[in-house]
Amino acid sequence: MRIFIAGGSGFVGRALSARLAAEGHQIQVLTRSPRKAETLPEGVTMVAGDPTRPGPWQEQAAGAEVVINLAGASIFSRWTPEVKQRIRDSRILTTRNLVAAMQPDRPGGQTLINAGAAGYFGFASQEPCPETSPAGDDFLARVCVDWEREAQQAASKGCRVVITRFAVILGTEGGALSKMLPAFRLGFGGRLGHGRQWFPWIHLDDLREIFLFLLKHPEISGPINCAAPAPVRNGEFTRELGRALHRPVLMPVPGWLLRLLLGEMSTVLLEGNRMIPKVLTDNGFLFRFPTIRQALVDLVG
C-alpha cells in the first residue's frame, strides 16, 4: 500500500513510518528540511515541501492510497498571539492542502487519517469522554474542532476520513516523557499542581498498532480516541514514574508557578480530561499496555 505522511519526520512520524515500512508498505514522508532525510527509517523516502503551502508535493499525496497527517506545531510554550496563530495555521492549512490534493475518482478510493488531540474535549470535565462527548470551548478545543472540520471535507470527495485524537504519547525518543525523565532520574520529579487532574496517555507502540488496525479495518471512520483504556490522574502518573525509576517524587510543581511561566497554556497541564477509547475497544483493538504501570515499566523500568 502506498502511504503518504505529512509530519512524518517528527517523534511519532519516525516511529510510525518505520513500523509501516516493516509491514511492506511504500512510505513517502513530506518534510520541509531535506536534511531530515538522513534520520528517516530505512525504506522510507522523502518528499520536500511545506505542507502549509500548495506545491508540487500535492501530486505525491494525490497518488497515495492512504494519506496520514501528523503535522502541527508544538503547543508546549507560552501562547503569545504569534504562537497561537502558528499552532492554528500549522494544523488548518496543512489539512486544507492535503484535502485539496486528494482525488475523489481514484480507483479504490483514498483514506485520510488526520491527527487530532485530546484537547478537543477541553479541560474542565471530570467525566469519561468517549468520541461522542461534546467539544470544549477553550482555545485548544476550538482549534481541534476547526482542524477536524477541515479533515472531514475529504468525505465530501468520497474519501474515508478517520480522526485520530491523540492522548499524551509516551516514548523515550521524544514527546512529554523524554522531557520529564532528566528531572525524575535526579529525584526532582513531582506532581503538577494538586495532581488530581486527569492525564490521558498512550504508549507509542500501541499508537503505532492503532494505525495498522485502522488500515486493516476500512469500516472504521470518524473520530477515534487514541488513549489507553485506563487514564490516570497526574499524581498517580508521577508516582508510577518514580516507582519505575526507583526515585522519590517529592517535589511538586506549584500551579501558580506554571501559570506564571506558561500563562494560558498552563491549563493543559493543570486541568486535563478523561478521554477514553470507546471506538477502539468496541471494535476489538487489544492494547499491549493498558495500564500506566505496564507502560512505564516497559519504557524506563
Asked whether the predicted pLDDT for residue 148 surpasses 80, the reply is yes
| Res. 195 pLDDT band, cuts 50 70 90 | very high
Contacts of 106 (CB under 8 A, 6+ apart): 62, 65
CA distance 268 to 266: 5
Domains of the chain from N-terminus onward? 2-168+203-227 (3.40.50.720)
Count Cα atoms within 13 angstroms, Cβ side, for 24.
Answer: 2
What is the per-residue pLDDT across 9-67, written as a single tens digit (0 to 9) for each? 889 999 999 999 999 999 999 988 777 666 777 889 999 999 999 999 999 999 999 99
Predicted local distance difference test score (pLDDT) of residue 130: 97
What is the per-residue pLDDT across 77-119, written as a single tens digit (0 to 9) for each? 999 999 999 999 999 999 999 999 998 777 778 999 999 999 9
What is the per-residue pLDDT across 212-262, written as a single tens digit (0 to 9) for each? 999 999 999 999 999 999 999 999 999 999 999 999 998 999 999 999 999
Predicted local distance difference test score (pLDDT) of residue 36: 66
Predicted local distance difference test score (pLDDT) of residue 171: 95
Go through the chain and tell me how many residues it has: 301
Contacts of 200 (CB under 8 A, 6+ apart): 118, 167, 168, 227, 228, 231, 272, 273, 274, 275, 276
Q: What is the DSSP string of 226-293?
A: ES-SS-EEHHHHHHHHHHHHT-----PBPHHHHHHHHGGGHHHHHT--EE--HHHHHTT---S--SHH
Asked whether the predicted pLDDT for residue 71 surpasses 80, the reply is yes
The position carrying cell 474542532 is 145
What is the per-residue pLDDT across 285-294, written as a single tens digit (0 to 9) for each? 999 999 999 9
Predicted local distance difference test score (pLDDT) of residue 109: 86
| Res. 8 pLDDT band, cuts 50 70 90 | confident
